[in-house]
Amino acid sequence: MMNNKTQLKPFFDDIKHKFSSITKSFSWFTLTFTSGLLLSLVILLIHLFVPFEEDIYKKLVIEGGILSFSIAMVSSLIIDYYIFSQPFFSSECWNKTAFKTIPGIIIGACLFLFLLCYLKPNEITFEIMFYAQMGIFLSATIYAIIIKSVAFNKCV
């Protein structure tokens, strides 16, 4: 008769494996976030110690740094997928959704908002622009963490 420890070991090993992949995906995101927005973070740090007249936060949003970073993050995942060309999911439908549809929606939203701000800057308020960019950024972040968790889950 098997004792409880041997019965629960596979369960806890699986939990440990999944937790490890999620931790690695957050580490990947932190490194990507830090390196991708390094210049913006340096500018924000400078503005903490050296006061300027202009509102730096508005300038970062208006110039589209958050949109550029979102595109770079999503694009890096797509490039990883196509370079290593191994399916992440067992279903081809899930692979198409994860690496064509969702990135297309996120990148399309970035381009749409950028073009709207560029072509009709007086017709969009800063608040709308800020909230739209934050929505895109959060969507790209959640997407990236999920995809990297799946990738690390397969590699660990």
pLDDT tens digits, one per residue of 19-65: 777 787 777 777 777 777 776 777 777 777 877 766 777 777 777 87
- CA nearest 93: which of 101, 103, 84? 101
Q: Is the Cβ–Cβ distance between 43 and 60 less than 8 Å?
A: yes
Q: Which pTM does this prediction carry?
A: 0.71
**Non-local CB neighbours of 29 within 8 Å, separated by 6+ positions:** 141, 144, 145, 148
pLDDT at 70 over 80: yes
Half-sphere exposure of 21 (CA within 13 A, CB side): 18
Computed from CA positions of residues 43, 119, 115, 72, in that sequence, does the dihedral angle turn out positive or negative? negative
Q: Which two tokens stand for residue 22?
A: 């999620």
Give the C-alpha distances (Å, rounded to integers) separating 71 from 35, 100, 115: 14, 13, 14
pLDDT at 1 over 60: no
Q: What is the pLDDT of residues 84-124, one digit of tens each?
A: 666 677 777 887 888 889 999 999 999 999 888 888 878 88
Please give the DSSP secondary-structure letter assigned to residue 123: G
Q: Which two tokens stand for residue 2?
A: 């098997």
Residue 3 parent element (H or E): none
Q: Is the Cβ–Cβ distance between 154 and 88 less than 8 Å?
A: yes
Instruction: Name the region of 85 (left: φ>0; alpha: ψ -120 to 50; beta: rest).
Output: left
